[in-house]
Amino acid sequence: MKRWLPHLGVALGLIIAVYALYFSESEEDRVRALLDRLELAVGVTEQDSNLLFRGAQIRKEFSEIFDSSVSVAVAELSGGSPGRAGLSELATGAPRMFATATLELDGLALTLDKTKKHALAVGTVVIRGTRHGGAAERIVREASLSIEEIEGDWRIVNVTIDSVDDLPGDARAK
């Protein structure tokens, strides 16, 4: 009976190695999961009427999505980089403008550097929303997000959103 024990150990080791090789999450998958989490965090539903509760949820999510010293450059926002706290306030207040809204980051092309510690997501972001009066709106912007692995977790460290004047005419809002 004891002579089968080494064989069992080798088989178990092979199973673990195959799982790690073929089924473990890649760094690109982890970054995409972070972007998916951002999409979910900022979405607005009709149930988002309690801004205090929404604010607490957003702050928690943003603390795990954005670096504490995130740099933000959005043309429509004046007054410098709002940082993570400012982004949290903007996302918390979104239900004041929209009855429903979604953020779509599917248009971002993702590249990781050779070290797999830095990523850049560049491309088109889309916000689809319905105003409280019922008017549908589609806002399209070109964006760049710098993402870094910090202490084992991926965090967004820089966000740049181009102004509407920088976009071709057919890609502007509405």
Fold of 26-171: Nuclear Transport Factor 2; Chain: A, (3.10.450)
pLDDT in tens, 127-164: 999 998 889 999 999 999 999 999 999 999 999 988 76
* pLDDT band, residue 22 (cuts 50/70/90): low
Q: Give dist(CA 115, CA 79) in Å, integer.
A: 35
Q: Which of 124, 65, 121, 122 is nearest to 91 (CA)?
A: 65
Q: Report the amino acid identity of residue 32.
A: R
Strands 66-74 and 153-161: parallel
Q: Give dist(CA 148, CA 121) in Å, integer.
A: 11
Whether pLDDT at 172 is above 50: no
pLDDT in tens, 86-132: 899 989 999 999 999 999 999 899 999 999 999 999 999 999 999 98
* pLDDT band, residue 79 (cuts 50/70/90): low
